[in-house]
Structure 1
Amino acid sequence: MPENAAHPQRWQDALPHLSRRGLLAAGAGGALATLLAACGSGTHEPAGAPAAKDSGGPVRPGGTLRAGSPPPPTAVDPVTAYDGTSVALIQLVAEYLIWLDKDFKLVPKLATGWKSDARGAAWTFTLRKGVTFSDGTPLDSAAVKATFDRLLDPKNNSSALSVFSTILEPGGVSAPDAATVVFTLKRPFSDFPYLVSAGNYNAVILKKDYAGSFTKKAIGTGPFLLASYDVSRGATLTRNPAYWDAPKPYLDGVDVTFYADEQSDLVALQSGSIDAQLLSQATLVEPLASGGGITVDQVGGTGVTVLTLRVDKAPFDRKEVRQAVAFALDRPAVKASIGAGLGDLGNDHLLAPAFPAAPKDLPQRAQDKAKVARLLAAAGVDKLRFTLTFDPPSKDYAVTIQSQLKAVGITVDLDQRSSSAFYGGDQAKDSPWLFTTANLVGWAGRPVPSQFITPMVKTGAVWNGSKYSNKALDAAADAYDAATTEDERKAQAEIIARALNEDVPIIVSYWSGAVRAYNGRKFRGIEAHPSQFVDFSSVSQV
């Protein structure tokens, strides 16, 4: 599942986001300061907190957590990694300027505060004092600048490059002193802190001289040290005794075992061979939540599988045909069968209900077989038939769509490709996920809607598989990014949502939730995360 020059799905059925409430820094000028202040203060110094108590009781230090996960499909390199296992291993060893909590609150990590100018076009970050990399090198602004210069360099083929597209370009990062980093943007972007947070998972801060080979010499500021790594077997991590947020981590270490398939991972959890899963599948683990010592934590999210329709090719060059497909779907049934009942119904736009700016009064689209017939008749289509292309993770979804559309007289031919083939080819000319007539693409959740809208539906966007173009939507998307009040955001979000809902270049049946399964009799503090992120620094024995 690439996302180098391609792939939107960060990993497996990556499942994300609950709320983008931000602890953005006070001090921004003008109306933007008012907007940021409404989201919370952003000057924080939580370092060195004493051992805390959670809802399960007092912290009990020590012990090794045994976790299971699929083997990484590519090299575990912070600059280019895109799969869930690689990202999880990296997040145990290295850290971001800002973490995203399970409700997608911005939480200070290596940055203690951040503020913007009045326009939201320049952002200044203050670094945490006293932090060192695991080899003893002090964290400073030069390392942070080098990290983002590395991500912005096209030669490095980082997934993060697409995240910064149109917003931050090479040369836009400066380090005026050892504790300060300034990002000068190409255009105002009031959600910029999310782009340098864990929401942009390649943005972990590395040493200035990082040159690859992370699994051979993993140096980070995080709570654990990578002691060993075997691509076919797993990884061993030990506690970082010099971690800046002492007394964390509470665990002595984490042992990760790679399992070739999800069923093997599940059996290992049930048998007690492992204590937790890094990546849990809701449909597999939800039945375990009723007993046997297995705890299944769950959160809402913005992960989504999108049915993309080529608006420039028959039969979907007629809006009525696209609308007919949208009205043919039984969305609650899709959510129940594919999403294990978790998440929210989709309404064929990219403003998930979890986003504060999502419109509240747009009628929810529901299955209407009579309307399907009327729309097809209006388009002059007697019998609709089309091919749906997808890769293995979307197979059940594709079969469900095929079955539901058959019930209203629409024939869907299924075209399954391997993931490498589906996301392969020339991304500018013939990659199946961007150029087939209709396809299913799994997108990991984003903390802000712009990370869906900008690459997916703006005119000429890098991942615009529908080839949709709407100048009013383009203008509203830019205005949304530059908005300095929540009312202004909501107004622009309304324009975007209504345009997509009416034109239907994409169909969103539901927004997924996320789960993480673990042995609740042995460990506490393990949580599901909307983006399947991993933070085991607060995990302890029961």
Structure 2
Amino acid sequence: MTHRFSSRLALATALAGFLSLGAGQTFAASHVVLALGGQAETLDPYNTNTTLTTAVTKSFYEGLFGFDKDLKVQPVLATGYSVSDDGLVYDIKLREGVKFQDGTDFNAEAVKVNFDRVRNPENKLARFNQFNQIDKVEVVSPSEVRITLKQPFGPFINSLAHASAAMISPAALTKWGNKEIAFHPVGTGPFEFVEWKQTDFVKVKKFDGYWRKGFPKVDDITWKPVTDNNTRAAMLQTGEADFAYPMPYEQVATLEKNDKLNVTVSPSIIERYLSFNMLQKPFDDLRVRQAINYAINKEALAKVAFSGFAKPAEGIVPEGVLYAHKLPTWPYDPAKARELLKEAGYPNGFESTLWSAYTTTTAQKSIQFVQQQLQQVGIKLKLQALEPGQRTEWVQTAPDPKTAKVRMYYAGWSSSTGEADWALRPLLATEAWPPKLNNTAYYSNKTVDDLIAKAMKSTKDDEKKTLYAEAQEQIMKDLPWAPLVVEKNVSASAKRLSGVYVMPDGNIDTSEIAVSQ
């Protein structure tokens, strides 16, 4: 099976984006500030599981494929590919004449170096499990690479379109090494790295040698972490920022009245949930996990913390992800929660801790709401919002599951490959226990593991749909989580800014960023 992408299509897309800016509008090179709700934890896209981080790294890195703003796969550094009948061998044609920002050539050898690096377990990269299906990478010619998989893997091209599958300059990797490359990124993207002050900003500047002619259209971008909702909104209103995401939900009506701003509300595939450490009491008891689910009013949470810009979760995988299986929202019944706690041996409740993966104002509201709800059934929680370093050390890289300190964990996830494999496997497969991936519930069910594994190998839509549905139903029976809400994406920008999009997974596309005069 051969898949070829037309360069005319890419040109037409770019031209359409240019023309849509309006007659008479011209562009001037400018400085742009983007205010985001958190900070990048690394600048190595292969060593992060956070969407915000990859949004930043996409400034200077590109992959063979990418997603458009609707999560449709598009060619980037690849121009086409073919797949063997057994689904194991992918021959990928590469774009010619592309240079890395250090002046070296992008070619098949660069592809091999990058994928050999991430699939080497000794490098201990966070994205190892995303690419460990690769058996070998071979250079066919400078403009063609052959990738052989260990077994058929239906969503392989989607995985290559994920922002983590970036092409890093082999020369830079040789110069800086596996760890230090995180501070010295060199890619083929529209912007070159300038400076990173971890708590303050990441700054990038226009790459004059960028292969896509006419881009980028601005001189530089400063990515600025601003955790406080009100501060982000204020920066936008005073002109200190040109774009802000996420916007404070409670201020949307006010911001929409500002004639200098555009407010955009769009669907997302970001689900917020609580995970329970099932290796630890009392969360090893299904009745306790059921009780917590009954004790939380998801409708009220959507109103209180998200000002209505969210809806109760309907299962484990949200609508909009391929092979999502819609299930009923767990009902709110505090009396049933108290009854179950009593049956489990906790008639007076218990004490525990709830960590949040984020320090944003909305996250703080969410965990405070959960604290208040659970207190009504006797569960007393101590709250802590984790900084990125704490999150990495205490949760994501905890070396021994038996001694991991996480108990209840408020987090969120979006399947940035657009399909259910990456919504389930990194979070709920046994192989995904930290420090490998993000199964912070330490959940393990052989039936679920087998269903996910079978679905990975399948290339038949009907079969995959059935397998993923069975897996999602079993997970909801076991309740390693309390699925909470699926939020909407709310962003705002100065009217002079165009070409910046929040994608359904919460990533940000700045490939066509421009400022009008």
Return the TM-score normalized by structure 1.
Answer: 0.80
Check conservation: 1:48, 1:244, Cα contact below 8 A: no
Q: 2:291 aligns with which of 293, 303, 324?
A: 324
Counting only pairs closer than 5 Å after superposition, residues 477-492 of structure 1 correspond to structure 2 as 477-492=452-467
- Counterpart of 1:196 in 2: which secondary structure? helix
Show structure 2 runs of 5+ residues with no match: none
Seen in structure 2, the aligned counterparts of structure 1 residues 353 and 260 have a Cα distance that, compared at 3 Å, is: closer
Indicate the residue corresponding to 2:498 in structure 1: 524
Task: Report the Cα offset of residue 64 of structure 1.
Answer: 1.0
Q: Take 2:392 and 2:147, find their aligned partners in 1: how far apart are those partners?
A: 32
Counting only pairs closer than 5 Å after superposition, residues 177-192 of structure 1 correspond to structure 2 as 177-192=141-156
Percent identity (aligned): 22
Check conservation: 2:188, 2:210, Cα contact below 8 A: yes
Indicate the residue corresponding to 1:456 in structure 2: 427
Counting only pairs closer than 5 Å after superposition, residues 321-400 of structure 1 correspond to structure 2 as 321-347=288-314, 349-360=315-326, 362-376=327-341, 378-379=343-344, 381-391=346-356, 393=359, 394-400=363-369
Q: Does structure 1 residue 64 correspond to structure 2 residue 30?
A: yes
Q: Take 2:252 and 2:103, find their aligned partners in 1: how far apart are those partners?
A: 43
Letter of the 1:387 partner, please give it. Answer: S
Check conservation: 2:153, 2:456, Cα contact below 8 A: yes
Q: Does structure 1 residue 440 correspond to structure 2 residue 407?
A: no
**Higher fraction of helix:** 2
Seen in structure 2, the aligned counterparts of structure 1 residues 331 and 132 have a Cα distance that, compared at 3 Å, is: same
Q: Take 1:192 and 1:48, find their aligned partners in 2: how far apart are those partners?
A: 26
Comparing 481-490 with 254-263, greater Cα deviation is found at: 254-263
Q: Does structure 1 residue 158 correspond to structure 2 residue 157?
A: no
Indicate the residue corresponding to 2:484 in structure 1: 509
Q: 2:75 aligns with which of 108, 129, 134?
A: 108
Check conservation: 1:143, 1:205, Cα contact below 8 A: yes
Q: 2:15 aligns with which of 45, 51, 69?
A: 51
Seen in structure 2, the aligned counterparts of structure 1 residues 259 and 429 have a Cα distance that, compared at 3 Å, is: closer
Check conservation: 2:355, 2:406, Cα contact below 8 A: no
Task: Report the Cα offset of residue 343 of structure 1.
Answer: 4.3
After superposition, the C-alpha distances for 1:108-160 in whole angstroms (9 at most, x for unaligned) are: 11112233333433323221233222344332111111111222234444322
Alignment length, in residue pairs? 492
Q: Does structure 1 residue 300 correspond to structure 2 residue 267?
A: yes
Higher relative contact order (CA 8 A, sep 6+): 1
Indicate the residue corresponding to 2:374 in structure 1: 405
Check conservation: 1:388, 1:440, Cα contact below 8 A: no
Indicate the residue corresponding to 1:23 in structure 2: none
Comparing 398-407 with 418-427, greater Cα deviation is found at: 418-427
Seen in structure 2, the aligned counterparts of structure 1 residues 418 and 238 have a Cα distance that, compared at 3 Å, is: closer
Letter of the 1:441 partner, please give it. Answer: A
Q: Take 1:435 and 1:460, find their aligned partners in 2: how far apart are those partners?
A: 19
Q: Take 1:379 and 1:132, find their aligned partners in 2: how far apart are those partners?
A: 62
Task: Report the Cα offset of residue 182 of structure 1.
Answer: 2.3
- Counterpart of 1:172 in 2: which secondary structure? strand
Check conservation: 1:60, 1:540, Cα contact below 8 A: no
Q: 1:193 aligns with which of 157, 164, 174?
A: 157
Show structure 1 runs of 5+ residues with no match: 1-25, 28-40
Return the TM-score normalized by structure 2.
Answer: 0.84
Letter of the 2:488 partner, please give it. Answer: G
Seen in structure 2, the aligned counterparts of structure 1 residues 479 and 399 have a Cα distance that, compared at 3 Å, is: same
Indicate the residue corresponding to 1:209 in structure 2: 171
Counting only pairs closer than 5 Å after superposition, residues 22-171 of structure 1 correspond to structure 2 as 26-27=1-2, 43-45=5-7, 46-49=9-12, 51-52=15-16, 53=18, 55-58=20-23, 60-69=26-35, 72=39, 74=41, 76-80=43-47, 87-165=54-132, 167-168=133-134
- Counterpart of 2:490 in 1: which secondary structure? strand
Task: Report the Cα offset of residue 477 of structure 1.
Answer: 0.9
Letter of the 2:373 partner, please give it. Answer: Q
- Counterpart of 1:210 in 2: which secondary structure? helix
Seen in structure 2, the aligned counterparts of structure 1 residues 289 and 194 have a Cα distance that, compared at 3 Å, is: farther
Seen in structure 2, the aligned counterparts of structure 1 residues 288 and 215 have a Cα distance that, compared at 3 Å, is: farther
Task: Report the Cα offset of residue 177 of structure 1.
Answer: 1.7
